[in-house]
Amino acid sequence: MTITTILEKLPYGEPFLFVDTLEYIDEQKVTGSFTFRPNMDCYKGHFSGYPVTPGVLLTEVMAQIGLVCLGIYLTGGPEGMTFGLTSTNVEFMRPVMPGEKVTVTSEKIYFRFGKLKCRVVMTNVQGEEVSSGEIAGMIINPR
């Protein structure tokens, strides 16, 4: 499966698509990136005068790249396939500002019985760790 095919199979669209590129993917690992555009709605009222990216969106980027893209790769991404997040344990170390690009690297912990669990790390362009943790989800196959 190609990176282009994986991106086409993502079950998201604007404005909730948080994957710009995938740089690498195999059965164990995925790396991708996303840039938080300064005009995103989340910045309009989040810390007026000093907008930062909400942690829930950082987690979503980590899940879309680190869990969903890897899940599509592992299963072949059948038509109608979707994902349900089952657990997160994420720590945040640095703020992400409007306009900032982040890179997510995820390594599979396990994939069995339709559940995928990964160790995920997000870094900024300086290579500093922004957030990290474990994310798990259930793959929901079409009927």
Domain containing 107 — which CATH number? 3.10.129.10
**Higher pLDDT pick, 48 / 90:** 90
State how far the alpha carbon of 17 is from the alpha carbons of 13, 138, 142, in Å.
Answer: 5, 19, 21
d(CA 116, CA 20): 22
pTM, 2 dp:
0.94
Q: How confident is the model at residue 49 (pLDDT cuts 50, 70, 90)?
A: confident
- Of 46, 101, 115, 117, the catalytic one is 46
| Helix residue spans in 39-114 (DSSP H) | 55-63, 70-75
> Looking at residue 39, what is its pLDDT?
93
Q: Tens digits of per-residue pLDDT, 100-142?
A: 999 999 999 999 998 999 999 999 999 999 999 999 999 887 6
Range of the domain at 48: 3-140
- Is 46 among the residues known to form the active site? yes
Instruction: Give the helix ranges, DSSP H, for the chain.
Output: 3-9, 55-63, 70-75
What total number of domains does the chain contain?
1
Summarize pLDDT for 10-19 with one digit per residue, the tens: 999 999 999 9
* Distance of alpha carbon 75 from alpha carbon 66, whole angstroms: 15
Residue 143 has pLDDT above 80, yes or no: no
